[in-house]
Amino acid sequence: MPALQVIDAPAAPGPRRVMLDQFDARLDADFPPVDPARLIAALKPLLPPENLKTQIEALRPYETDGLAAYRSLPAVVALPETVAQVQAILRVCSDLGAPVVARGAGTGLSGGALPYPGCVLLSLAKFSRILEIDAQARTARVQPGVRNLAISEAVAHLGLFYAPDPSSQIACSIGGNVAENAGGVHCLKYGLTVHNLLKLEMVTLEGEVLHLGSDAYDAPGFDLMALMTGSEGLLGVVTEITVKLTPVPETTQVLLAAFDNVEVAAQAVAEIMAEGIVPAGLEMMDGPALRAAEDFAMAGYPKDAAAILLCELDGAGPDVAEEIARVSALLSSCGATEVRQARDEDERKRFWAGRKGAFPAVGRIAPDYYCMDGTIPRRALPNVLTEITRLSEVHGLAVANVFHAGDGNLHPLILYDAAKDGDQDAADALGGAILELCVSVGGTITGEHGVGREKINQMCVQFSSAEIDAFHALKAAFDPKGLLNPGKAIPTLARCAEFGGMHIHNGELPFAHLPRF
């Protein structure tokens, strides 16, 4: 196992404190400004008046997404209803050189839908129809503005569901899920968004409609559909999606295990996976998180525990019974102080309600919290937890931990008070240190929330300049003018030189060939 790199990251001086909702022509993207009046005049003939918003009070609801700390105003909001309108809008943007930011439901947590100042904000909210359900083929053809949960609801009577279930599934749109490659509690067994897609229809900046993927099990050529998935709206605008539907499992059971030590709980996770069991979900909460969740949702969690695991198993009835017995025995032998099976569907739902409500629950115990999203190899979990505790002490802020433990996806929630002097700085510094810790053990800075505007500087820690160059080249293959969601997901090398230069690995200054600003 790689040695744990200890990072004592004191609040970084200078440039790190610039709020990331401020775009910088030097560090992000440089466009000649487009006169808003000219832009609006060009868009007006394309849409019914009520689908083009230009007044500042009508633009306000679009100035931020699920990352509410970042705000910025577009020049105009366009709400097309047809693919032809999307094509026409994008052609205007291409011709005038206006940046375009596509937006689904605006629930993203990393500022991916944050408007570039003066951009055209392209909302897909009116693309809200389920176009076709093929019960035999177990597929649904939907528009991007359809809510994630609405798909499962529409096919429930067929004994089917759409598997990826991000915690925002009541509100988030399937188009946003594609842009994000959204995961969820059950992706350990059922996969991420990319694993549940068959076809995409997309429009390029030049207004060309392309079809990627196939109703067959594969398509000829490069897998550009996979490249589009998770590309944060930087490559094209998705206008139609065909998703795979999954038969609802015959039986679903959940176990709750309590531990008096967090590291022991983390070890139990590795043991379950090594046993050859693939749970439908395997979640972990530490003491502060589970106590907040219990007070919030009255899920029935043991409040004196240092950590709990929720392990969901699904499949054929007799197989699930057998696996429940094996996992229960394993958890006890790993040192669980208590192992409980949900007695009925009601209790199972309560166990999950606590977990799904963990973020708002933590929101009640601190004025502000900052949600991190790193992924690490499971074997690093015990050490990373110890290190997070140490970092939390160094920076003087408490951390509540909520994990998708089965796939090593951590959501440490940093508790702070933005009104308190220095707290915001300390939260940023602690957050950065946690992400760098994830990278240093072989993990990633984001498991499922993505890199929109937030974490864009940490991209420079995870990727080399040659890798970032390759990403920009791929972006340019789709969008040569660089107008689709500029300043997001992939940092410029100039940004890395300025912000990524804090982190010196092996004594080498990264991006040494670039000028420092």
Of residues 253 and 375, the one with the C-beta less far from another protein: 375
Shortest Å, Cβ 450 to another protein: 5
Q: Is the Cα torsion angle 372, 376, 378, 379 positive or negative in sign?
A: negative
Residues 487-506 that bind another protein (CB under 8 A): 489-490
Question: Does 10 contact another protein by CB under 8 A?
Answer: no
Of residues 72 and 375, the one with the C-beta less far from another protein: 375
Q: Strand order in 76-78's β-sheet?
A: 52-53, 76-78, 120-123, 100-103
Question: Does 463 contact another protein by CB under 8 A?
Answer: yes
Binding mask 247-286 for another protein (x = CB under 8 A): xxxx-------------------xx-xx-xxx--------
Of residues 58 and 210, the one with the C-beta less far from another protein: 210
Question: Does 221 contact another protein by CB under 8 A?
Answer: yes
Q: Which stretch binds another protein (CB under 8 A): 90-98, 256-264, 311-319, 419-427?
A: 311-319
Question: Does 486 contact another protein by CB under 8 A?
Answer: no
Residues facing residue 38 across a β-bridge = none
Closest CA to 39 of 81, 86, 89: 89
**68: Cβ contacts below 8 Å, ≥ 6 apart:** none
Shortest Å, Cβ 40 to another protein: 30
Shortest Å, Cβ 37 to another protein: 33
Question: Does 319 contact another protein by CB under 8 A?
Answer: yes
| Long-range contacts of residues 470-477, Cβ cutoff 8 Å, at least 24 apart | 474/227, 474/235, 475/234, 475/235
Shortest Å, Cβ 298 to another protein: 30
Residues 324-383 that bind another protein (CB under 8 A): 375-379
Q: For another protein, which residue of 93, 172, 224, 289 counts as binding (CB under 8 A)?
A: 224
Shortest Å, Cβ 317 to another protein: 8
Residues 176-205 that bind another protein (CB under 8 A): 180-181, 183, 187-188, 191-192, 194-195, 204
Of residues 39 and 405, the one with the C-beta less far from another protein: 405
Of residues 298 and 325, the one with the C-beta less far from another protein: 325
Of residues 263 and 417, the one with the C-beta less far from another protein: 263
Of residues 27 and 235, the one with the C-beta less far from another protein: 235
CB 321 within 8 Å of CB 252:
no
Check residue 197 and give left, alpha or beta (phi > 0: left; psi -120 to 50: alpha): beta
Residue 255 CA to residue 270 CA, distance in Å, equals: 16
Of residues 226 and 398, the one with the C-beta less far from another protein: 226
Q: Which stretch binds another protein (CB under 8 A): 45-53, 74-82, 211-219, 304-312?
A: 211-219
Which string of b and e fits 443-476 if b means at least 16 CB within 10 Å? bbbbbbbbbbbbbbbbbbbbbebeebeebbeebe
CB 40 within 8 Å of CB 92:
no
SS3 170: coil
Shortest Å, Cβ 448 to another protein: 5
Question: Does 134 contact another protein by CB under 8 A?
Answer: yes
Closest CA to 174 of 139, 204, 135, 217: 139
SS3 228: helix
CB 161 within 8 Å of CB 132:
no
Determine how many CB atoms are found less than 10 A away from the CB of residue 203.
Answer: 24
Q: Which stretch binds another protein (CB under 8 A): 48-56, 209-217, 342-350, 493-501?
A: 209-217
